Amino acid sequence: MPYVAVPSFLTALRRKPSYSRLALDLLILTGVRSQEVRLAKWDEFDLDQRLWTIPAEHMKRSRAHIVPLSEAAMAVLVRAEAMRLEGAEVAFPGMTGKAMSNMTLLKVMRDMQEPFHVHGFRSSFTDWAANEGFPNAVVEAALAHKTPDAVQAAYRRTTFLGTAENPGARVKLMESWGTYCSGSSIEE
pLDDT by residue (tens digit) across 18-52? 999 999 999 999 999 999 999 999 999 999 999 99
pLDDT of residue 61: 79
Which residue type does 92 have?
F
The mean pLDDT of 122-137, rounded to a whole number, is: 95
Collapsed DSSP state (helix, strand, coil) of residue 114: coil
Whether residue 87 is predicted with pLDDT greater than 70 in this model: the reply is yes
Collapsed DSSP state (helix, strand, coil) of residue 122: helix
33 a catalytic residue:
yes
Which residue type does 151 have?
V
Please answer whether residues 53 and 61 qualify as being in contact, where contact means their C-beta atoms are separated by less than 8 angstroms. no
Whether residue 176 is predicted with pLDDT greater than 70 in this model: the reply is yes
pLDDT of residue 160: 65
- Cα–Cα distance for residue pair 95/143, rounded to 1 Å: 29
Phi, psi of 53 (to 5 degrees): -100, 105
Q: Domain 3-182, what fold? A: hpI Integrase; Chain A (1.10.443)
Catalytic residue among 21, 122, 170, 180: 122
* Domain edges within the chain: 3-182
155 a catalytic residue:
yes
Q: What is the reported pTM?
A: 0.88
119 a catalytic residue:
yes
Q: What is the percent of the chain with per-residue pLDDT over 90, rounded to a whole number?
A: 68
